Amino acid sequence: MTASVTNIDESRPPVVDTLKVLDKVSGSVIEELPVNSPERVTEMVENARRAGQDWSQLSVKERVKYIKRARNEVAKGRTEIFSLLERETGKARADVVGELLSVCMDIGHIASKAPGWLKTRKVGTAPLFGKKGRIVYKPHGVVGVISPWNAPLTLSLGDAVPALLAGNSVVIKPSELTPLAVKRTIELMNRVLPPSVLQVAIGEGAAGQALVDHVDMICVTGSPQTGRRVMARASQRLTPVLLELGGKDPMIVLEDADLDRAAAGATFGSLLMGGQVCMSVERVYVEAAVAAEFIDKVVENFREIRVGANGIDAEIDYGPFTSANQVNIVESQLKDALEKGATVLIGGKRTGEGAGVYFAPTVVTNVDHSMEIMKEETFGPVLAIQVVKDSHEAIELANDCQYGLNSSVWTRNIARGIEVAKMLEVGNTCVNECVLSAGVQNLNFGGVKASGLGFRHGGPEGLRQFAVPQSLLIETRRRKTEFPWFPYAPKQAGHLDKLIGLMYGR
């Protein structure tokens, strides 16, 4: 789930003293926060490094106990978190509650698995027989997390919790648009966590730069442009990076698909959280034989979508944009498409009244790859549908993109759907499903091409990326010498020569 985060430029941007966080419906100031200077962020990292010395010495099971107790504190304070998250993002209450629920479920899953996944592993030692081999998992040190505005809790704690379980201390810099729920959640967790093990830095680009410059691992969710800048900056210290970047996720509808389900999936997948999700369905390739029927069903579904101001009792499916600037990107792409011959079947314009920035559910047809709307991330409630002659054309067009995050294939022939899915140049693919693969804890979630580097979830590898594997070779026998040691004898080379011949041919 990505959104643009504050740019991290080579030159340090000016630092502001306070940060005003706005209610996305009313436009009023929810809270004004003091901004952490680069010097303060550097100090926070050093405090985290000191705190991490004791934290890393705890057993994994002891760290699990802390994390579970911290989750309990968050659950107790959930009403306040819901309110903050709803106001600062503009999202529907169902999305807000679902976000915190998914975080709590993820914590439970990874906490139950962490002791086994981080346990020292025994490995063979061939060709050095008789010795012992071990792989131990040690923390990087301080992990920095730069998270976006569209899913503030999921995309900050989704990295922070496994990093903590692996023995790291963590500093999170949430988006300047949505820092309140993250800040409050960390305050609640810190009721039980040791001091300075988990901290939050408030600020814009300067705070993010300071974090990149001093941590031992950096995790960023944002745009490809931001990812490249972070990676370039981190390379100066060879700091490991985890990047989840943008998406332009394709949906392929084959002629034997269940069109009712596919249309419903396209509606949900493109309009969830107002389309402000990195794995949103943004472009559809539908086979010509069923295109007209499919498009009609999608348009009818879009007519039923409710857009408006959020609230605990609001009957809406999505609310205003979290970032008012994002609507300019949506409108620019639509303008480009219309000028090149596209047709808007429904929506295509701003809607609603008041300070919030709303956009109507939009379906666009007669599109092709000369248009930005088929190539660049839209990140809004817009679905572009292109008719294709067959699955081969659909696959070719789906892969004709710089992004490679998520995708979906819709067909009644499951075996065929899996084969088509394997041909897509993406990190994740669903068959007769969309978007929800990101919430499956045992599936990797990450992108290829410009969509990122590394992954979340996915079993032990998803946790172990927050640790440094250290290899141990151990000799327990009392031996005075070894065959490869000095002094060399001419017959050694001869023995090795014969061994190569016996094993691999003369």
Q: Is 493 helix (H, G, I), strand (E, B) or coil?
A: helix
Name 468's bridge partners: 138
Q: Which one is catalytic: 86, 204, 278, 434?
A: 278
* Whether the Cβ atoms of residue 196 and residue 212 lie closer than 8 Å to each other: no
Query: Of 115, 175, 113, 182, whose CA–CA distance to 149 is shortest?
Result: 175
Which pairing describes strands 382-388 and 362-365: parallel, antiparallel, or unpaired? parallel
The answer to whether 278 is a known catalytic residue is yes
Q: How far apart are CA 214 and CA 148, in angstroms?
A: 20
Q: Which one is catalytic: 244, 287, 376, 377?
A: 244
Q: How far apart are CA 90 and CA 310, in angstroms?
A: 6
Q: How far apart are CA 213 and CA 197, in angstroms?
A: 19
* Whether the Cβ atoms of residue 359 and residue 321 lie closer than 8 Å to each other: yes
Alpha carbon of 163 to those of 8, 100, 198, 467: distances in Å?
A: 23, 19, 10, 8
Q: Which residue has the tokens 């490679």?
A: 404
Q: How far apart are CA 90 and CA 2, in angstroms?
A: 16
The answer to whether 401 is a known catalytic residue is no
Q: Is 122 helix (H, G, I), strand (E, B) or coil?
A: strand
3-state SS record for 279-317: CCEEEEEEEHHHHHHHHHHHHHHHHCCCECCCCCCCCCC
Orientation of helix 78-89 relative to helix 180-189, angle to 10°: 160
Q: How far apart are CA 396 and CA 390, in angstroms?
A: 10
Q: How many residues does the chain have?
A: 506
Orientation of helix 224-235 relative to helix 205-214, angle to 10°: 40
* Whether the Cβ atoms of residue 371 and residue 400 lie closer than 8 Å to each other: no
Neighbours of 240 (CB within 10 A): 18
Q: Which residues are catalytic?
A: 244, 278
